[in-house]
Amino acid sequence: MAFIVGFILNARLTAILFAAVIPSMALVIFIGTTVLNRYSKERSECTTSAASVAEGAIKAVQVVQALDAFEDLTNDHRDHLVRAMEFGILKAVAGAVLLGSVFFIAYAANALAFWQGSQIVKSNQSSGGSAGTVYAIVFLILDASFVIGQAGPFIQSFSQAASAGRRIFDLIDYPDIPIDVYSKTGHRVSQETFGEGKEIVFSGVSFSYPARPMEKVLDSVSFRIKTGTTVGIVGASGSGKSTIAALLLRLYDSSEGSITADGRSITEFNLSSLRNTMALVDQDPAVFSGSIYTNIRDGYKGPELTEEEMRGICVKAAKAADAWSFIELLPNGMDTWLGEPAGTKLSGGQKQRLCLARALVGDPPLLILDEATSALDTISERSILESLGTSRSLGHRTTVMIAHRLASIKHADNIIVMGKGKVLEQGSHESLMSNFSGAYYQLIDAQKLASDDSAESFISDESETGPERLAEKVTKAELSTSSSTETLVASSKTFGTFTIIKRCLALTHSKLFFTLLALLGSLVTGGLILGESIIFGHLVQLLNSSVPSGRVDFYCLMFFVVSLVALAGYVTSGSCFGLVSEHLIFRTRDISLRTILRQDMEWFMQPGRSASTLISITSMDAGHLSGLSGVIIGTIVSALVSVVGGAILAFIVAWKIAIVLFATSPVVISAGFLRLRVLSKLEEKNQLAYTDAASLATEACSSIRTVAALGTEKATLERFYRAIDKYQKQTFKNMMLGNVILAFALSIT
């Protein structure tokens, strides 16, 4: 629109400015954003690698400390951070050059516009050669240019958003796969599918994981599972035992062969209904944030029950899984909160029993136990196996037990021995033990197990109340930890803004020279408006009077000098602040991980110390902290110079007008402060909401196998949406209030 009006007023001057400003601005922005996207992508990849190392170390902190792997992991993390810092500095320099170039073009266009305008006024060409017309065109075109220039500080943000958007849309646009839990098509699984006299048949099944397509995990595996029986699957690590469980649940589809249930391929069944008839207890027990009751309830897939009835079957399942002995001793029993915030921590064995209760609560026709008792003592394991045997005899449940501890599958109806992806042999315990050269016999011999129950009898005679005493000890320890946690949280320090800035400056002390150089650049950019005002004032006076063209040319040249100063100032401040910011991010993330990995286990028991929260602190919060040594400080310094310098210049040039204008300053400042206050509170609430949502997403993704087995994808999505929308209405109100205050301030100015 500005150029349309300009062409109407004076086509020649507008065309000159159009030809000079638009192509050069477009070229600078195109090249700059291309380079920014490249470095942003490289930096993001290095940061992701560093975050992956940090995540693995934090989640396995006990192993890290036990194996003394602290230095190796932190050094690996540091190497990734160094590379990320290098790309971040290059990105900051590219962004600074881009921003400086935008302002250079805008100020240089001022020089060109006034010089060409003075020539038009001097020759008085056509009816559009008056000084007023020149001013109108200059303001129209240059205001449009400065609008583009004002967008300069957001170009880096746009580049980051574009890079993030590319990754997000790559994920969203990922091709559909046959395994679709949301699909409504397919044959519905009924109770008869796994009813009496039915079979699950593996026929020539081969499988390779997508990450290792050349390595066959299963190689032409064939066997039958009769419904209502217990089948044990044993073998060395990597023999394909857990893969069989994954294929039964259709977490993957076989590469070759077929898996049928009741004579129908499992790929023909509706996936959701298929998984609703199965329950999985994985070798890595996953417990989600929530109460013990909600964790057990997640396994129920039957008709809707009242709250009282649901609690009753949850308690029954907990007793069947030998979990009630420790649940009833916890502070709030079934309502004890697990996970964040301030949740009770469970031991590995307690988690495994809780997950077993979750699997049993729905009384599934097919129960898959993948090393489900590996973290339990022998007494608890025997109690659970007896309970499973009793519940199976009362109903018609098919149980698939995958185990390394062979004592747990001795009484299975059929035992399948796996080796290098193939079925080596199968049969009952007695028949397999009769083959002295068989793989099963060798496994038994390796574990030094006898065919009788002498070892188990010895253990059971030691103590009949072992689990109960253990639960009491664990619960007392947790209560002690809870009280100490409250004391530690109450004594935690809070830091003010100036204290945080002081500590940030201390972390970047080695880059003090660059900090000072960046501040100098900010002083220069803040003073640009003063130089522009002085030059502009003289040019207005000269164009309205008959003066030698040499004086006009001089001030036009000064405008070009201002453009060079703007280029140098923005490049210097942006590059140096970027270098300091990246160094601060590097130091903060490196020190944070080293500090986290040095803590004892009691520290991790405190509220807000979950793995997902700590990862968020080391990754996201460190990046936010960089603003205190970068763009934010530079912007504040530049703004202060502009405001203070402008006020002094205004009083020198026209103090009466300045007094009138400054009379509105308290209102404008108050409105701006209120808006910033509202937006800061809004951002604080949004960050809290997004942190909760991110923790939930991390928890779900890290335990996706369990989420898929439970069929809780939709429920998890609903929880995620609730976490995001938690502050939606208040956010909208605060946003509207902030914009109204801003509009009021702008209307006054």
Strands 199-207 and 256-261, bridge-based pairing: antiparallel
> What pLDDT is recorded for position 672?
65
286-342 residue pLDDT tens:
888 888 999 999 888 888 889 899 999 999 988 888 888 888 888 788 888 886 555
> What pLDDT is recorded for position 197?
83
Q: What is the DSSP letter of 400?
A: E
Average pLDDT over residues 198-221: 89
Q: Residue 371 region, left (φ>0) first, then alpha (ψ -120 to 50), else beta?
A: left
Whether the pLDDT of residue 518 is over 70: the answer is yes
> What pLDDT is recorded for position 451?
43
Which range has the worst mean pLDDT, 15-19, 71-75, 548-552? 548-552
Nearest Cα neighbor of 296 from 281, 283, 306 is: 281
> What pLDDT is recorded for position 213?
84
> What pLDDT is recorded for position 726?
72
136-156 residue pLDDT tens:
777 776 666 666 655 655 665
> What pLDDT is recorded for position 10?
74
Q: Which two tokens stand for residue 480?
A: 């002690």
CATH class of 186-277+366-452: alpha beta
Distances (CA, A) of 504 to 181, 624, 712: 48, 12, 43
pTM: 0.63
Q: Predicted confidence band at 628 (pLDDT cuts at 50, 70, 90)?
A: low
Q: What percent of the chain has pLDDT over 70?
A: 78
Nearest Cα neighbor of 616 from 58, 45, 46 is: 58
CATH superfamily of 2-173+493-663: ABC transporter type 1, transmembrane domain (1.20.1560.10)
Whether the pLDDT of residue 123 is over 50: the answer is yes
584-595 residue pLDDT tens:
888 888 888 888
Amino acid in position 498: F
Q: What is the largest CA-CA distance in the chain?
A: 118
633-668 residue pLDDT tens:
777 788 788 888 888 888 887 777 778 777 777 776
Choice between 693 and 42, residue whose per-residue pLDDT is larger: 42
| Of the ranges 368-372, 489-493, 682-686, the best mean pLDDT one | 368-372
Whole-number average pLDDT of the chain: 79
CB 96 within 8 A of CB 575: yes
**Which phi and psi angles does 125 have, rounded to 5°?**
-75, 135
Q: Predicted confidence band at 15 (pLDDT cuts at 50, 70, 90)?
A: confident
Domain 2-173+493-663 matches domain 186-277+366-452 at the CATH topology level: no
> What pLDDT is recorded for position 452?
46
Neighbours of 660 (CB within 10 A): 10
Neighbours of 601 (CB within 10 A): 11
Average pLDDT over residues 383-403: 72
> What pLDDT is recorded for position 466?
43
Whether the pLDDT of residue 409 is over 90: the answer is no
> What pLDDT is recorded for position 76?
92
507-516 long-range contacts (CB < 8 A, ≥24 apart) are 507/584, 507/587, 507/588, 507/591, 508/580, 508/583, 508/584, 508/587, 508/629, 510/583, 511/579, 511/580, 511/583, 514/576, 514/579, 514/580, 515/576, 515/577, 515/580, 515/629
Boundaries of every domain in the chain: 2-173+493-663, 186-277+366-452, 286-364+461-492
Nearest Cα neighbor of 238 from 255, 216, 253, 221 is: 216
